[in-house]
Amino acid sequence: MAELTLQTLAGCGLAIAAYPRFRYDARGGGGSGRLTDGDCTGSQRLRFDPDALRIPPLDWRTTRFLGLPLPPGLAITIHPQQLDGSLDDATGAMALRFCARFRFAIGGLYRAPDLIVDTTLSTGPVQGRRHQATGQPLDGDGQAQLVGVATIAPSGDPFLDRFLGLPDEALALLRCRFGPLAPDGRDLP
């Protein structure tokens, strides 16, 4: 079993319901995980500790919508619950189950109930009723693009559910880099 790091990168995206895609710079996020030895098919298991995963919030610093930054005070924080799956050592193909709670807030004035996102992030193509995308397998530099489509259930807050048109689906695009950990726990270049 090997220790592994995940770093989130710029060039990510998120779309929900019929709204255009948000451009999202997720630099600075990530966490550590474990990679098992490959089985007879070349598949390895990946598991990241959700308590140690950090994903930057979508806010005016990180996110643009229709070319403009999100308004100051508006933020969506992401609280991972699960990130694990498999890596095909020969092709770089990955499929990771991602579960998280997305918390929408406007300063101290409004906090919506969590939106639950539960999807498989894949390096292959994904297709929903409304959204589609294609990921990119792990390359020689340890970079990949993971994509996933999730059905988003109503939050229970009439304002938010009406505003987002829930239930509907969301699309996530995550550009990231995977790499080994040095014996002292630092990322290796």
Q: Six-digit token pair at 138?
A: 């792990």
Please name the helix (run of DSSP H) or strand (run of DSSP E) that holds residue 68, with its range, or none: strand 68-69
Instruction: Work out the number of other CB atoms within 10 angstroms of the CB of residue 88.
Output: 17
Q: Taking the domains of the chain in order of start, what are their residue ranges?
A: 14-24+56-175
pTM exceeds 0.85 for this model:
yes
What is the rounded CA–CA span in Å between residue 135 and residue 120? 12
pLDDT in tens, 121-148: 999 999 999 999 999 999 989 999 999 9
pLDDT in tens, 25-36: 999 999 999 988
Q: Please check whether residue 114 is in contact with residue 101, taking contact to mean a CB–CB distance below 8 angstroms.
A: yes
- Nearest alpha-carbon partner for 82 in 44, 31, 118, 42: 118
What is the rounded CA–CA span in Å between residue 175 and residue 164? 25
